[in-house]
Chains A and B, each alone.
Chain A
């Protein structure tokens, strides 16, 4: 349950960006959250709502895009979506896989009123 400390880090970036843009308020915060980012989107929402009071994002809506775990096999180049965290290529059995996406925890964009 480190979602609250993640939200604290998110607000550091968010406040900096809002100041840079001289925003009056933030209306939408969009995150990209990988399936293997190690966070629970529902807890992120709870933490976000707790944290936003009294900030420039007090009326903001949190949008979370969940990103599946996708890997590419370095042997046969097959790209697969992983549901099960088994890092074996289903096409050729190789274990030499490269993670394309699904680990990220990214502040994608902000909608502001300036």
Chain B
């Protein structure tokens, strides 16, 4: 019997990362900006997508992948808007992984400009999994409280933009928007911040413009 020490130095999520990179190059080469939406359950990801569809759909074809532990209710809601949507039910898993997205790629229409991936509602685990997105957004609904960026730093640290949702509830809550924004920017100074209300429609057009701009930047970067 011989003892042997083997230096491996491999990332445990290396295979997820490799699949994610392939997805990103394929979608970006096809002119698709992919957005991964992270939030706790009930922060309003699906409602935000319904509103975004109203603004984007006429000139910017989009598709949606919904991740949930059970049911295809969210995909149904999106389809009612006339948007192609796929439901991934994880059957208990707390996050989506790149291989789940890769399996759906052949079904995604070639003419879309935006692919939104609504992750499983959870501010912890989804932050560790690259899904091949070009842009990562974290949502924080006002009723959750203004202390969340420091409590769940990784979700905020790995995002490109922060979307406050349910802004219409502001008058009824002790939510300190300045504190939440300040603490989020301490965790990640590069975050773009939006304040939205899916009920009243506030901030949705601005957010849609940001996605359109980011897609233009992506296309320019690829052709540079």
Q: What residues of chain A have their CB less than 8 Å away from a CB belonging to chain B?
A: 1-2, 5-6, 9-10, 12-13, 17, 21, 23-24, 27, 31, 36-39, 85-88, 95-96, 104-114
Contacts and interface: CB of A to CB of B under 8 A. Distances in A.
Contacts of A2: 93-95, 124-125, 128-129
Contact of B2 (A5, A96, A114): A114
Contacts of B4: 21, 23, 111-114
A97 to B, nearest CB: 8
Q: Which bucket holds chain B's interface residue count?
A: 20 to 34
A48 B13 CA distance: 16
Given A2-B94, A17-B6, A112-B6, A85 B153 contact: yes
Contact of A113 (B1, B125, B129): B1
A36 B8 contact: no
A1 B6 contact: no
Contact of B11 (A21, A87, A96, A105): A105
Given A6-B13, A12-B15, A85 B8 contact: no
Interface in B147-178: 150, 153-154, 157
Given A87-B187, A109-B7, A13 B94 contact: no
B127 interface: yes
Contacts of A106: 9-12
A38 B125 contact: yes
- DSSP majority for the B interface? mixed
Contacts of A110: 5-6, 8
Contacts of B128: 2, 37-39, 105
25 contacts: A1-B94, A5-B93, A6-B12, A13-B8, A13-B10, A13-B14, A36-B154, A38-B125, A38-B154, A39-B128, A85-B186, A87-B188, A87-B189, A88-B189, A104-B11, A105-B11, A107-B8, A107-B12, A110-B8, A112-B3, A112-B5, A112-B6, A113-B1, A113-B4, A114-B2
Interface in B1-32: 1-16
A107 B8 CA distance: 6
A29 to B, nearest CB: 9
Contacts of A88: 186, 189
Contacts of A36: 153-154, 157
Which of A12, A38, A110 gathers the greatest number of chain B CB atoms within 10 Å?
Answer: A38
Nearest to B7: A109
B10 A111 contact: no
B102 to A, nearest CB: 15
